[in-house]
Amino acid sequence: MIDRLCDQAGEKDVAVVGLYCDFLSQQEQSTTSMLGAILKQLVSRGEIPEHIRKAFQKAKKEFGGRGLRLPDIVEVMKRTITALPRVFICIDALDESTPKYRRELLESLREIVRVSTNTRLFLTGRPHVGDEIRKCFCKVVRIPVSPTRDDIRSYLEMRLDSDTDPDVMDDELRADIMRVIPEKIGEM
C-alpha cells in the first residue's frame, strides 16, 4: 500500500509514511514511540521544522534529556502535518499493539485528522479492531480482505515455478494442486 500510494503521488507533494505494529515489539511500541516514528518520517523528508528543533533543544537541557510526552507529541504532529499539503499515514496490524496503546494511538490520530482534512489514514487489522476504529472515527471506509481465487492461483503458480526440486513434479500433480487448493480455500 505504501509503495502504491508513493507511485500514485509521483511528482506531487505528497507524504506517505508507514508503521508496522508487531506483537513481539509491544513494549517498545508505545503510543509516543509509534507517533514519533510517523513524525520522524514526515520531518526527515527535508529540513527539520524549527519548532521541533527548539523543542529538542529545550528537552536536552531538562533532566535526563527527556522525551516528548503524548500530549506534546500530538501538538507537534498537528503543527507539522498542517504545514504539509497531503499526507497518507499507513498503519499495519493494529491488532498487534496493546489495547491501551491502540486506544491512545487512535484517539491521537483522530485529533490530528481533525485539524488536517488532507490527511488520510490507511489501517489494517483483524476484524475485531474495526469496532474500536469505528468508535473513534464517525466515517470509516471498510474493505474486507480475503484472497480471491485468482490471487491463490497466481500465488500457487509462482511457488510451483520457483520449486527447487522440479523433478518430483509432473503435469498431473500440478493440475491437481491448481484445482484442489483454490477449491478448499474457497470452502473455508
Partner 1 sequence: MAQMSSEHPQFTASIGSFNKNSFNNIVNFNTERELEGRQILQWLSPLEPQQRHQGVRINRFDGIGNWVLETNEFRKWSGAEDGCVSPVLFCDGNPGVGKTYLR
| Positions in the binding site for partner 1 (CB under 8 A) | 1-5, 8, 18-20, 22, 28-29, 32-37, 39-41, 43-44, 46, 48, 52-53, 56, 59, 65, 67-68, 73, 86, 88, 92-93, 113, 117-127, 129-130, 133, 137, 139-148, 150-151, 154-155, 158
Q: How far is the CB of 169 from partner 1 (least distance, A)?
A: 19
DSSP state letter for 91: E
3-state SS class at 95: helix
Q: How far apart are CA 42 and CA 49, in angstroms?
A: 10
Q: How far is the CB of 24 from partner 1 (least distance, A)?
A: 11
Task: Report the residue number, 83 or 140, with the smaller CB distance to partner 1.
Answer: 140
Task: Report the residue number, 43 or 174, with the smaller CB distance to partner 1.
Answer: 43
Q: How far is the CB of 35 from partner 1 (least distance, A)?
A: 8
β-bridge partners, 87: 15, 119
The sign of the CA dihedral 139, 130, 94, 108 is: positive
Task: Report the residue number, 15 or 129, with the smaller CB distance to partner 1.
Answer: 129
Q: Give Dmax (Cα) for the chain.
A: 72
Task: Report the residue number, 8 or 173, with the smaller CB distance to partner 1.
Answer: 8
Q: How far is the CB of 173 from partner 1 (least distance, A)?
A: 22
* C-alpha cell, 106: 487512535
Closest CA relative to residue 102, chosen from 12, 22, 11: 22
Q: How far apart are CA 133 and CA 103, in angstroms?
A: 9
